[in-house]
Amino acid sequence: MTQDTLPFGARLRRAMDERGPLCVGIDPHASLLADWGLNDDVAGLARFTRTVVEALGDRVAVLKPQSAFFERFGSRGLAVLETAVTEARERGALVLMDAKRGDIGSTMAAYAATYLDPASPLFSDAVTVSPYLGYGSLRPALDLAATHGCGVFALALTSNPEGAEFQRAVREDGRSVAATVLGHLAEENATAEGLGSYGAVVGATLGDLSAFDLAINGPLLAPGIGAQGATPADLPTVFGDAVRNVLPSVSRGVLRHGPDAGALRAAAARCADEVRAAIDQQEARQ
């Protein structure tokens, strides 16, 4: 198997080892555009997005566009997103589309094709999905990801406080919903060589999660670093022995340093170094 045909998990591991364990979100919300001196319109969206991709596409492991911030501008916003996805991948970054799609049957299959079919203009390396119509509803995305060497990140223990209402609810078998999702992902990754391609979204702000088995042999996307209050130093406490598989996600903590490209690069490099240091310290204790 050549590098070009490696599954997502293997490509992600290589990218984190070579570029640092960091995902930078592309979240062009109105207030951030204003901070950059840009108008809240398609021209501002395009300028913002192009700057981020050109500054970081050849440096960070993963770029994560938040689809909603592009969709709000309609077809012109989606055209900006299509260009960003293509150019980020050309620069060597893995693209994780933050779409959080979830549905059933043919509708879920259509969502999967949008992000995980190479024929789609929004084809990405991975996509976030919501399992709250039942884990089995994700099967079209899971299967298409396997076919094309892509990844899927399912919401499990998210950083927003409201998430606990559903995610920590206990089923009749005594397991929480989040633990059930994690268990399913571990099964998907059971036969993977190295890091699996099926990941979980687990917030970095949640404190000690030792009650949950995070050893799913897949990546753990960890939002919450920076503006939401978590720091790289918190990662060992939250993720324990699974910390090496954590992909911290930072958006405003890096993007607020724009529009200067050099400042964006420096901020991303500092964050990646801090994450790497925290992971190394945890592994030294083991």
136 alpha carbon, distance to own chain's centre: 21
Contacts of 106 (CB under 8 A, 6+ apart): none
- What does the alpha-carbon distance between residue 107 and residue 129 come to, in Å, rounded to a whole number? 13
80 alpha carbon, distance to own chain's centre: 20
**Residues 93, 56 contacting (CB under 8 angstroms):** yes
CA atoms within 13 A on the CB side of 261: 12
Distances in whole angstroms, Cα of residue 172 to Cα of each of 169, 180, 278: 10, 12, 38
Dihedral angle, C-alpha 280, 282, 284, 286, nearest 10 °: -140
221 alpha carbon, distance to own chain's centre: 5
Annotated active-site positions, please?
100
- What does the alpha-carbon distance between residue 93 and residue 217 come to, in Å, rounded to a whole number? 22
